Amino acid sequence: MTDQKLIESIRIVPDFPLPGIQFFDVTTMFKDPEAFKEVLDRIYNLYKDKGITKVAGIESRGFIAGAALAARLGAGFVPVRKPGKLPAKTVRESYLKEYGTDTIEIHADAIGPDDVVLIHDDILATGGTASAAVRLVKCFKPKAVYANFIIDITDVPRSAPIPSDVPVTAILSLSER
């Protein structure tokens, strides 16, 4: 499947969640079995030889492909959630995003020092959520951390860039305009 076919499977919603923001909705990509398989195949091929032991999927769309990737990679899945959603002791990180502030949490026993962690989410835009997830995962001192996104929105300024020691990949690079 070509990049263009994958792009065509994405719904673009103008002015969501706020006026002036163009929202790239990957749920339409997920409901297309060919497109979803293609995305998973591409990400799997990028990471199959990296020794990934945990995939940390960022709430909520990062759960979908993240859990499927974990299963394909033979890794565990770690949900990165909004506050109050995880039932046991958590570690948290707050951050700024393009339309406000937020906080994410991981269970305090989710990642160990022998883990190699792939952080996964659907979109990389300003980098706020992704950078917070990287900081959160790094507090566990794993062997290595990688970050992957389905879409990198390249013309959005990175107000919170991902640290340079974390390799970042994206399946598609798109412009918001």
The pLDDT assigned to 21 comes to 83
Give the pLDDT band (50/70/90) at residue 64: very high
pLDDT band at 98 (very low <50, low <70, confident <90, very high): low
50: its two tokens? 């990296």
Task: State which CATH number among 3.40.50.2020, 1.20.140.10, 3.90.1150.10, 2.60.40.10 fits the domain covering 51-174.
Answer: 3.40.50.2020
Instruction: Return the biggest CA–CA distance within the chain.
Output: 44
Of the candidates 61, 81, 93, 105, the residue annotated as catalytic is: 61
Instruction: Name the most confidently modeled range: 51-55, 154-158, 172-176.
Output: 51-55
DSSP string across 19-75: TTPEEEETHHHHTSHHHHHHHHHHHHHHHTTTT--EEEEETTHHHHHHHHHHHHHT-
Give the closest residue to 38 by CA, choosing from 49, 26, 50: 26
Q: Is 32 exposed, middle or buried (0-12, 13-18, 19+ CB in 10 A)?
A: middle
pLDDT (tens digit per residue) in 30-45: 999 999 999 999 999 9
Sign of the C-alpha dihedral, residues 173, 48, 69, 62?
negative
Radius of gyration of the chain (CA): 15
The single residue of 98, 135, 158, 176 carrying the catalytic annotation is: 98
The length of the chain in residues reads: 177
Report pLDDT digits (tens) over 156-166. 888 888 999 99
Instruction: Note if the pTM is more than 0.85.
Output: yes
Indicate if 98 belongs to the active site.
yes
pLDDT, the chain, mean: 94
How far is Cα 8 from Cα 12, in angstroms, rounded to an integer? 10
pLDDT given at position 18: 83
